[in-house]
């Protein structure tokens, strides 16, 4: 699933996505079904910005898929504020053939959870959907030890780390898709937290970054 030859921000559809990420015909079939359901549900439920819908393969599928390439060894993955399924449901579809893989999607909006459930059923994605606030889920899933915690467009990094803290054990990696304010958000987060961090260039947006976080600690501890 490592993108090759074609930058994902040039992806225009399933053929160029398959070329870039080297995925199977079955994976493309599942993503096509995802795209169909997204277009249908978008008419009544705000799942993505309307202007991005014609560019779903680049703006949403490729943007999400790049996280799977960063954590090929992950078997238990937690996606916070899953919304329309980005990045969590896309990652789950891409990793459907990985033995033992499971994705947990946490989303408080009931309509969005219904959408996620329909897509998961239609694509046979290995997911569990938790229709609750992240803070509630943290109390009910204290034994969960994910390999990766992810989020996209959920909150500024300082707030995002508060939400993710219960799940970010020393061996867990946080992979967070962030925009052009990445550096400022990291500086703000460092006022409250210490962590081992890394910025990965986004494959879909020159102004965006993937922020990787490990060994998170509060400064007052």
**CA atoms within 13 A of residue 8's CA, in its CB half-sphere:** 26
Residue 206 has pLDDT above 70, yes or no: yes
User: Which residues, other chains included, contact 176 with Cβ-Cβ below 8 Å and sequence gap of 6+?
Assistant: 150, 151, 152, 157, 160, 210, 211, 212, 213
Torsion of CA 100, 4, 49, 71, to 10 degrees: 30
Residue 3 confidence (pLDDT): 46
Return the bridge partners of 178, or none.
209
Place of tokens 């501890």: 221
| Token pair for 70 | 């960063």
pLDDT (mean) for 68-80: 97
Structure tokens at 99: 């033995």
- Residue 219 exposure: Cα atoms within 13 Å on the Cβ side: 8
CA distance 191 to 161: 12
The pLDDT of 86-91, averaged and rounded, is 99
- 221 falls in which pLDDT band (50, 70, 90)? low
Contact criterion met (CB below 8 Å) for 37 and 122: yes
pLDDT at 33: 99
Residue owning tokens 């989020």: 151
Instruction: Please give the C-alpha separations between residue 178 and each of 28, 98, 143, 170, 195, in angstroms, as whole numbers.
Output: 26, 27, 28, 22, 17
Chain position carrying tokens 């030890």:
145
| Domain 8-218 class, CATH top level | alpha beta
**Averaged pLDDT score across all residues of the chain:** 94
How far is the C-alpha of 85 from the C-alpha of 93, rounded, in Å?
Answer: 10
User: pTM surpassing 0.85?
Assistant: yes
CA angle 149, 154, 158 (to 5 degrees): 80
What integer pLDDT is reported at residue 11 of this predicted model? 83
Confidence of residue 8 (pLDDT cuts 50, 70, 90): very low
């Amino acid at each position: 699933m490592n993108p090759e030859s074609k930058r994902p921000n040039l992806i225009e559809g399933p053929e160029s996505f398959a070329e870039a990420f080297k995925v199977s015909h079955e994976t493309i079939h599942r993503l096509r079904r995802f795209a169909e359901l997204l277009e249908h549900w978008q008419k009544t439920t705000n799942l993505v910005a309307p202007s991005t819908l014609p560019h779903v393969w680049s703006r949403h599928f490729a943007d999400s898929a790049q996280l799977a390439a960063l954590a090929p060894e992950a078997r238990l993955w937690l996606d916070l504020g899953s919304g329309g399924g980005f990045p969590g449901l896309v990652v789950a579809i891409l990793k459907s053939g990985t033995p033992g893989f499971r994705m947990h999607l946490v989303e408080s909006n009931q309509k969005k959870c219904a959408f996620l459930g329909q897509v998961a059923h239609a694509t046979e994605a290995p997911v569990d959907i938790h229709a609750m606030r992240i803070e509630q889920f943290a109390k009910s899933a204290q034994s969960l030890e994910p390999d990766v915690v992810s989020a996209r467009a959920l909150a500024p990094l300082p707030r995002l780390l508060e939400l993710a803290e219960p799940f970010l054990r020393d061996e867990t990696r946080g992979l967070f898709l962030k925009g052009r304010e990445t550096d400022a958000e990291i500086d703000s987060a460092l006022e409250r937290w210490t962590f081992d961090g890394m910025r990965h260039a986004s494959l879909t947006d020159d102004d965006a970054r993937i922020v990787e976080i490990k060994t998170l600690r509060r400064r007052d501890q």
